[in-house]
């Protein structure tokens, strides 16, 4: 008898790139694009697949890939969340051994290149601001969970930021700052309530735009004494204005900007010339959730990023 125990396991097909073009108008001259990177992971009754090589309960990863592409045609992509919900529910409901499915999606945004002299509007330029993310988990026991997000959204305040009054010991060399640049590259994730996840008519695109708007407004409007304070204000602004969001987790690396010493050149640097440091960097992370709501984001990452 084996002394070893098969623990947590899952499998699937990662990073399926799919671009869906929706053509509109009587002649199809107007196009909309959804450009996704879709990862699928499945959990269930896969013990024999691992221990004996019996594949009777194994849905091939190639099949999960094909399902992603087929659903692009059959269901379209109204939003990354809606597409992920279709996929997750399909895998659990269509295959008895599969008990839980998680779909993780990145969306790469494009914006239209307007051509006033041409009726057809089908030219696009890749947006470089951020990548939209979605994670949908559907389980027979716990139901549906939707976590939306974004990454690589770089923001900066050129003033209205200070950092002082911190602990100092014999290793501290950092000078207190009373007027500094505050910059970060935002990675954000937010968990939706069950009311939103189960609502077939929920406006996922509208919700994404609203959350993004409130995070950016909070970043811009907060007079910051620390990046931690700014993180809290960004998350609280979302929770105050988006009632179907229960939890916000933010990952904010401090994109340090240090004043350059210009005195050797006989010049005064009046908060005008900075050195933008690449690394190392401070990394500020935190989760803000509604009182009485159990946070889920930190425990939901069972797909390896």
> What confidence tens digit (pLDDT) does each residue in 65-112 have?
999 999 999 999 999 999 999 999 999 999 999 999 999 999 999 988
Q: Are strands 98-108 and 110-112 parallel, antiparallel or unpaired?
A: unpaired
pTM value is 0.92
- Looking at residue 301, what is its pLDDT? 62
- Looking at residue 123, what is its pLDDT? 72
Closest to 294 measured CA to CA, from 145, 156, 117, 83: 145
Res. 305: pLDDT tops 50: no
Res. 303: pLDDT tops 90: no
Tokens found for residue 65: 């890939």
Higher pLDDT, 128 or 221: 221
184 is in an annotated binding site: no
175 is in an annotated binding site: no
Higher pLDDT, 118 or 53: 53
Q: Decide if 282 contacts 258 (C-beta within 8 A).
A: no
- Looking at residue 1, what is its pLDDT? 63
Q: Decide if 268 contacts 237 (C-beta within 8 A).
A: no
Q: What is the mean pLDDT of the chain?
A: 93
| Mean pLDDT score, 23-31 | 78
254 is in an annotated binding site: yes
163 is in an annotated binding site: yes
Higher pLDDT, 265 or 303: 265
Res. 2: pLDDT tops 80: no
Question: pLDDT (tens digit, 9 = 90+) per residue, 218-230?
Answer: 999 999 999 999 9
219 is in an annotated binding site: no
- Looking at residue 7, what is its pLDDT? 92
The CB density around residue 121, as the number of other CB atoms within 10 Å, is 17
Positions of CATH 3.10.270.10 in the chain? 9-141, 149-305
pLDDT band at 117 (very low <50, low <70, confident <90, very high): confident
| The CATH homologous superfamily of the domain defined by 9-141 | Urate Oxidase; (3.10.270.10)
Q: May I ask the CATH architecture of the domain 149-305? A: Roll (3.10)
- Looking at residue 304, what is its pLDDT? 40
Q: Which residue blocks in 107-226 are alpha helix, DSSP H?
A: 194-197, 204-221
Q: Decide if 219 contacts 234 (C-beta within 8 A).
A: yes
Q: Which residues are catalytic?
A: 13, 61, 256
180 three-class SS: coil
CA 239 to CA 242: how far, in whole Å?
5
- Looking at residue 166, what is its pLDDT? 97
């Amino acid at each position: 008898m084996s002394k070893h125990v098969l623990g947590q396991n899952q499998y699937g097909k990662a990073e399926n790139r799919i671009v869906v073009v929706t053509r509109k108008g009587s002649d199809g001259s107007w196009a909309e694009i959804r450009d996704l990177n879709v990862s699928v992971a499945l959990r269930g009754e896969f013990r024999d697949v691992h221990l004996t090589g019996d594949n009777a309960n194994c849905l091939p990863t190639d099949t999960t890939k094909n399902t992603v592409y087929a659903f692009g045609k059959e269901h379209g992509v109204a939003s990354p969340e809606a597409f992920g919900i279709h996929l997750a529910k399909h895998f659990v409901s269509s295959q008895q051994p599969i008990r839980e499915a998680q779909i993780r999606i990145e969306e790469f945004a494009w914006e239209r290149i307007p051509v006033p002299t041409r009726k057809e509007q089908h030219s696009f330029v890749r947006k470089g601001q951020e990548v939209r993310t979605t994670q949908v988990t559907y389980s027979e026991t716990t139901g549906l969970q939707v976590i939306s997000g974004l990454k690589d959204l770089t923001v900066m305040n050129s003033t209205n930021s200070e950092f002082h009054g911190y602990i100092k010991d014999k290793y501290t060399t950092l000078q207190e700052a009373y007027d500094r640049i505050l910059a970060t590259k935002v990675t954000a994730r937010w968990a939706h309530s069950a009311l939103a996840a189960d609502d077939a008519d929920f406006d996922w695109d509208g919700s994404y735009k609203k959350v993004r708007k409130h995070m950016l407004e909070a970043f811009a409007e907060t007079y910051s004494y620390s990046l931690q304070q700014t993180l809290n204000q960004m998350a609280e602004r979302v929770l105050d204005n988006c009632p179907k969001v229960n939890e916000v987790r933010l990952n904010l690396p401090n994109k340090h900007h240090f004043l350059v010493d210009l005195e050797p050149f006989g010049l005064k640097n009046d908060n005008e010339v900075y050195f933008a440091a690449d690394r190392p960097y401070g990394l500020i992370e935190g989760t803000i959730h509604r009182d009485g709501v159990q946070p889920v984001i930190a425990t939901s990452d069972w797909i390896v990023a």
